[in-house]
Structure 1
Amino acid sequence: MTEGRGVKPLDIALVVAMGQNRAIGRDGNLPWRLRSDMKFFRKVTMGKPVIMGRRTFESLPRVLDGRLNIVLTRDPDFSVPGVVAVASLEAAIKEARTWAAREGADEIAVIGGEGVFSAVMPQADRIYLTEVHAAPDADTWFPELEAGAWREVSRDAYGAGPQDDYDFSIVILERL
């Protein structure tokens, strides 16, 4: 069956770590070190297509293994082995849906940055939110969530581990 024949479209999930002040980045990096959250990020995105902006991609140490890396960029010369470069969010979602259908992925993961999160928010079905219990200096922010549009389906609190700067909670939100 296809999406046009009554099958629900593949869910789009945002995967984000956000400070209490909505901070998500500073100087092209995360404004904290949370090794425990990196493990969660890997678990929740593994085997899925991941959509990100070029600056988010450039902040990564390498292409994310076990996932289709789709990078939104206005640079027509952007080319990295193991990355699908696209010029629009629509093209990114189309690539993600095609790959997910072929590989059996159950959702599309959008991993940032600020502009990509803002653009895809109206289409998002789920948010995997790491609430960092800190308000660090930042230059990149997660958009405000529309009041009454989301319900919390789970929340787990974690104390800072040996390689974590702060305590944090992992929250899953689903669109109402």
Structure 2
Amino acid sequence: MTTLIAAIGENNELGKNNDLIWHLPADLKRFKKVTSGHYIIMGRNTYESIGTPLPNRTTVIITKNKNYTAKGCIVTDSLENAIKIADQDSNAYIIGGAQIYNQAINLVDVLDICEVHQSFDADVYFPKIDTAIWKEINREHFLSDDKNKYDYSFVKYTKRN
């Protein structure tokens, strides 16, 4: 199974200037818990914004640059190859960025979305979640607090039959 995991603003905002546009510790903590022990698939720009392989995960980077290397990571040239590489994992995660999300949204089994209930100035966006294709199966809503500046929800979708 392959899951697309992302945090998005009210208008599908993902980021700006190759960086996150909010700090939500609860989402980061959940992301670490959910993806630990699994393959994570990402584009080169996303990898470079992180700067290092994430601990306790197998990092697969997608790039068209045939000479690209990243110590401790697997590098491949397409999303399809990345999914094949991660196929030995019972639940691989696609973690971004926008180009990869656009390519992957119709190839994955599950969407695991953190909805940040605020609009932001952004330059990259998550693709529209088509409710004719995706069915919401779980939602957990949380109010802002002293550590998390914005209200947010963790929402899970599966493909409709």
Pick the TM interval, shorter chain: over 0.9
AA paired with 1:79? T
CA distance, structure 1, for counterparts of residue 91 and residue 145 of structure 2: 29
1:33·1:163 contact (CA, 8 Å) conserved in 2? no
* CA deviation map 1:5-32 (0-9, x unaligned): xxxxxx1111000000100011111110
Identity of aligned residues (%): 32
* CA deviation map 1:104-129 (0-9, x unaligned): xx211000111101111111111110
User: Which secondary structure does the structure 2 equivalent of 1:122 belong to?
Assistant: coil
The partner residue of 2:60 within 49, 70, 73 is: 70
CA distance, structure 2, for counterparts of residue 80 and residue 159 of structure 1: 38
CA distance, structure 2, for counterparts of residue 137 and residue 144 of structure 1: 17
1:36·1:161 contact (CA, 8 Å) conserved in 2? no
TM-score, structure 2 length as denominator? 0.94
CA distance, structure 2, for counterparts of residue 163 and residue 57 of structure 1: 26
Partner of 1:89: 79
Partner of 1:164: 148
CA distance, structure 2, for counterparts of residue 167 and residue 75 of structure 1: 39
Partner of 1:54: 44
1:1-176 matched pairs, under 5 angstroms: 11-98=1-88, 100=89, 106-176=90-160
| CA apart distance, 1:77 | 1.9
AA paired with 1:96? A
CA distance, structure 2, for counterparts of residue 147 and residue 23 of structure 1: 18
Unaligned runs of 5+ in 1: 1-10, 101-105
| CA apart distance, 1:61 | 4.5
| CA apart distance, 1:160 | 2.1
Aligned residues between the structures: 160
Unaligned runs of 5+ in 2: none
CA distance, structure 1, for counterparts of residue 32 and residue 159 of structure 2: 23
CA distance, structure 2, for counterparts of residue 164 and residue 79 of structure 1: 36
- Higher CA-based Rg: 1
TM-score, structure 1 length as denominator? 0.87
* CA deviation map 1:71-105 (0-9, x unaligned): 0011122111111111111211111114x2xxxxx
CA distance, structure 1, for counterparts of residue 67 and residue 37 of structure 2: 27
| CA apart distance, 1:147 | 3.1
1:157·1:170 contact (CA, 8 Å) conserved in 2? yes
Which portions of structure 1, spanning 4 or more consecutive aligned residues, are displaced by more than 3 angstroms? none
CA RMSD of aligned residues (A): 1.2
User: Which secondary structure does the structure 2 equivalent of 1:55 belong to?
Assistant: helix
CA distance, structure 2, for counterparts of residue 161 and residue 112 of structure 1: 27
AA paired with 2:29? K
